Copies of this chain bind each other. A is one copy, B any other.
C-alpha cells in the first residue's frame, strides 16, 4: 500500500475519542496504523495535522487530515459506504436522533469523568449525578432506538453505539478510581446488557482497554496534572 493510500490514526490507546475511530475502521474492514502520541507531549505530526485544536484523534487518509472524532466517524461511514452497513440510519429522523444522543454523551459523560478522575475541578457528587441522569436518558433512548434489537443501531453497531460505547472502558475505571458505582445493572438493565454485548463484539474487544490499565493510566495523568508539594 502506498503512503497516499495508507490510513493512519494519530491517537492514544486510552482515549475514548480515538477508540471510536478504531472500532469504526475495524467495522468497515479498513486496515490502519495507530500512530501513538506520548502523553503530555504533542508530536510534530499532530501539530501539523490539527494546527487549530492540536488534539487527537486525527485520521490521515490520502495524506489529508480529518479531525474531531464525530466528524471522523461520519467520514469513515461515507468513504467506505459500500464496505459495511452504514453507521447512520437511512431515515433522516433516526439519524437526527442518533446525532442528538451522540452529542449528548460527549457533552455530559466525558467532562463528568474528568471530574471523577480528579483531573478537573468540580464536585464529584454532582458529576456522578450528571452521569446518572445521562444513563437514565440513555436507558430510555435505548428502548426507543433499538426496538427490541441488540444495539442502538438495531441489528448492528451504529453511530450512537460507537460514540457511547467508546466510553465504556472508562466507566469501569472511573468507578474504581472514584469508589462510586455508576452503571448499576438494577437501574439500567438495558444499557448494562448492551454494554456487555458491545465490549465483547469482535470489532471492539481488541481495542477496548482493560480497567486496570486505565486506572494506572489515570493515576499517572493525575500525578502529572497535580504535582505534590513535598
Instruction: Give the residue among A62, A72, A96, A137 with the most B Cβ atoms within 10 A.
Output: A96
Q: How far is the CB of A123 from chain B (nearest CB, A)?
A: 19
11 more A-B residue pairs beyond the given contacts A71-B99, A75-B93, A78-B92, with a C-beta to C-beta distance below 8 A: A52-B104, A62-B93, A64-B93, A66-B96, A66-B100, A67-B100, A68-B99, A68-B100, A71-B100, A74-B99, A75-B96
Flag if B68 contacts A95 (CB, 8 Å).
no
Hey, what's the 0/1 contact readout for A85-126 against B, CB within 8 Å counting as 1?
Answer: 000000011011001100110000000000000000000000
Q: What are 27 A-to-B residue pairs whose CB atoms are below 8 Å? A: A52-B104, A52-B137, A61-B93, A62-B93, A64-B93, A66-B93, A66-B96, A66-B100, A67-B100, A68-B99, A68-B100, A68-B103, A71-B96, A71-B99, A71-B100, A71-B103, A72-B96, A74-B95, A74-B96, A74-B99, A75-B92, A75-B93, A75-B95, A75-B96, A78-B92, A78-B95, A79-B92
Hey, what's the 0/1 contact readout for A49-85 against B, CB within 8 Å counting as 1?
Answer: 0001000000001101011100110110011000000
Query: Could you tell me the distance between the alpha carbons of A78 and B90 in the complex, rounded to whole angstroms?
Result: 10
Query: Could you tell me the distance between the alpha carbons of A56 and B137 in the complex, rounded to whole angstroms?
Result: 19
Q: How would you classify the secondary structure of chain A's contact residues: helix, strand, loop or mixed?
A: helix
Query: Could you tell me the distance between the alpha carbons of A52 and B74 in the complex, rounded to whole angstroms?
Result: 24
Query: Could you tell me the distance between the alpha carbons of A35 and B103 in the complex, rounded to whole angstroms?
Result: 25
Chain B residues whose C-beta falls within 8 Å of the C-beta of A67 in the assembled complex: 100
Instruction: Give the residue among A52, A62, A95 with the most B Cβ atoms within 10 A.
Output: A52
Please name the residue on chain B nearest to A103 by beta carbon.
B68
Please name the residue on chain B nearest to A107 by beta carbon.
B53
Please name the residue on chain B nearest to A95 by beta carbon.
B78
Chain B residues whose C-beta falls within 8 Å of the C-beta of A96 in the assembled complex: 66, 71-72, 74-75
